[in-house]
Chains A and B, each alone.
Chain A
């Protein structure tokens, strides 16, 4: 079974530039998550999709971050404009929609450096 795919793996941009990340979840996983992980911290949920609908984006800085999952499969996360404090690893995860199943499967992440 193929895992969660993410691209790019690394990205270096200057502040005020834009950047986009792509995620392809495990086939059949209805729930998709985007996390931000800053060095030395645990993952912080940015947005959660159930199929193509948003179920939680309470911690997404909506003035600069946006995400979509148009067909309920792939997802993109965009930052525009980037700030220095956005330097982090952006992790995509997916899970099955089964009763009591909380296990999340993560992609390798995109390491973003904002200079």
Chain B
């Protein structure tokens, strides 16, 4: 089993649609979870951290389910500018204080007019 698994997509959705991505992680000891966004031919940038209670930032909502070891990202009212790859990222609990992250392969989203 991969340490962090995501559906690579691509997800093709029309503008205004709601789209959800899921990600599963293998090590139940992981404590920190993130979604990064990567535009085509650009570097990854932090989109949002994922907290146990769930968190929302505008049109974006992140949820964590520790029992099932999955993380989700919901995007409401999709915009053309949301087209990107969304990377699920989890801390490596075996790295101790070294703050090592484990990266998923990414989920590709294309929002169409």
Contact = CB atoms under 8 A, between A and B. Distances in A.
Contacts of A40: 8, 105
Contacts of A95: 99
A56 B91 CA distance: 14
Given A41-B105, A42-B104, A56-B100, A100 B87 contact: no
Contacts of A109: 43
Interface residues of A, number: 22
A50 B103 CA distance: 20
Contacts, number: 46
A56 B105 contact: no
B89 to A, nearest CB: 8
7 contacts: A40-B8, A42-B105, A102-B91, A103-B49, A106-B44, A107-B43, A108-B42
Shortest 7 CB-CB contacts between residues of A and residues of B? A42-B103, A106-B43, A55-B98, A42-B105, A43-B103, A102-B32, A103-B46
Interface of A: 31, 40-45, 48, 50, 55-56, 91, 95, 100-104, 106-109
